[in-house]
Structure 1
């Protein structure tokens, strides 16, 4: 289907995510590639950097902070107010100020690391940038690299210096001429070594694992769908997993973890693919549950479901109806477009999948409901019937509400249909209570009180929870008119 989108490194300019290379699609499906910003630098994802690990003098910098400070120092050095370039960038005032006592490095180890420093410095100095802006940026990065070499020479046990140096290498890799893949790969490999050392010295450095995973993923993308790429994707996935263990409240890491699994699924043998895809779906869904308006994870979930529908259709032995998977995919793509209607990639994808929605509704399916105004009625009084969800809310369908493509569900004419307006919703959650019929239950809390419903299965419950939450999120962001246009226009 469409190109999945990836949350980029901690410490980058405010684009929440970059982009992975396009997921392989069915031949007949061609949609333009999203280029909100090219996959780039350690300047992508500023807000994610968990900067303060201690005093100001000993903490990992984001790339925006780093480049800003170095630019100021560089200007000072150029005017003579900051001394030589070496003193301006190598005095250790910002990074590496921890006491060097207690170092376990032998003289041989120090010489070995000096050799690694020389290799990394040679690589950084070989990068010139493809334009004047890139060349200026690279000069700053070269100064930064010298700074961290000096910091590590003073204190070989400073994880922050290794982390920041890795960011510089990663940024330099994105400054390389696109035609020089070997130089880019070498810089990323050196960055990975620095991240490995930073995490060895500080095993709880979340940002290092997160950015290390992105560096490995960038190396994997350069290798196509080869055995070497497979091993790199597995390494990236392990680092995303470690990042999530250290910071479970990171939707960006979960989103990237899902993308790594999605990429891996395209390389592994067919017998392993479905398990990996289902795990990817769970990661995207977890990211959305942490941030309901995270449109990239919403869109990525739509793409992975679309791919699963394609595979299911080709297999001829579907565990789930391909049409149901296509419909689920369309819901997420429609929601992503409603949240970011100006993104051409979402608009293009929506044109592909809109007809898979049960128009003029977003979702149609069965739920078991109690009689209106009696949430704890005896179980025998609960009735399974068809529900419809659109931009206005959720309601129990009667004969006049049935979409032509759906079979009519029976509902006692004497019962008042359940109706929940989106504007009245307070929360939506899975629930378990002895007063409810057994099964996959959900509770929709409204300003008028709770409404309890039971889905046909736990998989169906996930779909209903996501769909209702997305409709509410779109409403809360003032984009209901966009969603209305999608399903009724």
Structure 2
């Protein structure tokens, strides 16, 4: 049920919606402010697993028909491809893929291998014709879609011809698979066109062939995983869907192994694991969820302003909090409590909103989780630190105390201030604490870098180094898990500051 803009959305159990549609060319595309707006009518809950919106086709690039293997996976925008293919159509006339008179059939029949070659050739021609029949029968839902499909159909004919000439042309196979994947997005819901699943299945076969011929083609593994994921979504929470999600995660893993510097692949891998966790037996779920968390976090570490991965990490933590609460809370003291998980979730969702305040789905989610933040702060927790002004001090002088993080910086609290913070949190009064001049304090504007560290001069534990323009500041977190939370929170606040969005974050935590 949709809520009107005046209505406050209600929390729903497990309703966490990852920032959806992955991109199909991670090496050539970047996330920009030109992303499509998300539907305002979906601001009813933090929903799960790609249910909120269906933006335009995520494939923004199709490799051009003139690709050569020594060029790598050079891609063209649809506009460039349109121009090139229109020129080719003009020069070549109405090209049709046929089995008569094609270059692939002009073989030397006197060769001792001719019979075998002819049989293989005919087999490829039959397969190509069947695939072309699928593409030819696709019609777009509007004029733009029909124009786009004409381009895709023409490109498919060229790739089919290339494969007839050379069945081992993995570039042509890869690009043809992309065309099939694009065509699947052009299938009208209520038409006589082939089903989207048929086109995606054929695309998967082409990716399979391409990667068999070129096992290092990481783009193919990445896009293949997306095609498998799209097929899995059509099957709901079934055993068949479970197997498809497992296949998708394996292909994302292979893509990351071949190209580790791809935050998009890591983000999509996390999304696939999140989908899989909703299907597998309960005993397997927590392991898969933790793996998804690690993938989102790895994506953020590669690109700290990657708002999709930031938001997705918030949603998976929210879902974990729901599951933990439903099963009776933490099993032991080492596990994070549901309240802490909710608070962590809110930090990431707030950060995603600060980076992309115009995204309605982020805004809707923030309304649901903002009260879970330790307002008027973004994060409150404990760190062990040396006395203020004495970074090098005996371990006995280091004290574990409460720290607060907001849009301006990280600050240590004394006992009186800690009591004030506890009162604020219990009463949600929103009053700021009095600044302690003798406390350890780090201004966000002064930060140069933030990292985990291991140093014999520090007390035992998970070391944190915040390098500033005034010199390094060292602290120790209670655990390595706690350190991850502090690292992410500080780096996110710094990234928001560097992007000029601190005022948005300030409005979230103090407004």
Structure-2 change in CA distance of 1:405 and 1:269 (3 Å)? farther
Instruction: Work out whether 1:62 is the aligned partner of 2:75.
Output: yes
User: Residue 158 of structure 1: which of 159, 163, 169 is its match?
Assistant: 169
Candidates 300, 310, 318, aligned match of 1:288: 300
**1:230 corresponds to which of 234, 242, 247:** 242
**Equivalent pair of 1:42/1:63 in contact (CA under 8 Å):** no
Compute the displacement of 1:133 (Å).
1.3
How far is the alpha carbon of 1:40 from its aligned partner? 1.7
Q: Does 1:326 align with 2:339?
A: no
Compute the displacement of 1:62 (Å): 2.8
Give the CA RMSD over aligned residues: 3.1
1:183 pairs, out of 195, 201, 205, with 195
**Match for residue 268 of structure 1?**
280
1:42 and 2:64 equivalent? no
In the alignment, which residue of structure 2 is the partner of 1:433?
455
> What does 1:173-212 align with in structure 2 at a 5 Å threshold?
173-179=184-190, 183-212=195-224
What's the counterpart of residue 278 of structure 1? 290
| Structure 2 gaps, min length 5 | 1-14, 37-43, 98-112, 427-434
Residues 1:352 and 2:368 aligned together: yes
Of 269, 285, 307, 2:319 maps to 307
Alpha-carbon deviations, 1:230-279, whole Å to 9, x = none? 00000000000000001100000000000000000000000000000000
1:115, CA displacement in angstroms?
Answer: 2.3
2:408 to 384, 388, 392: 392
**Structure 1: 5+ residue runs without aligned partners?**
20-26, 89-102, 408-412
| SS at 1:462 equivalent | helix
CA distance in 1, matches of 2:87, 2:364: 46
Alignment partners' CA distance in 1, 2:470 and 2:59: 48
State the SS of the aligned residue for 1:7.
coil
2:476 aligned with 1:454: yes
Q: Higher relative contact order by CA 8 Å / sep ≥ 6: 1 or 2?
A: 2
Q: Is the 8 A contact 1:2 1:33 kept in 2?
A: no
Q: Which residue of 2 aligns with 1:467?
A: 489
| 1:488 aligns to 2:510 (yes or no) | yes
Post-superposition offset of 1:14:
6.6
Q: CA deviation at 1:139?
A: 1.2
Question: Distance in 2 between the 1:187 and 1:18 partners?
Answer: 26
Give the match for residue 3 of structure 1. 17
Greater shift, 350-359 or 309-318, is seen at 309-318
- Report the TM-score, using the length of structure 2 for normalisation: 0.82
Q: Which residue of 2 aligns with 1:84?
A: 93
- Structure 1 residues 309, 246: closer, same or farther in 2, change over 3 A? same
Q: Distance in 1 between matches of 2:288 and 2:365?
A: 24
Structure 1 residues 352-376: Cα deviation after superposition (integer angstroms, max 9, x where no partner): 0000000000000000001122222
Q: CA deviation at 1:61?
A: 4.6
Aligned to 1:110: 121
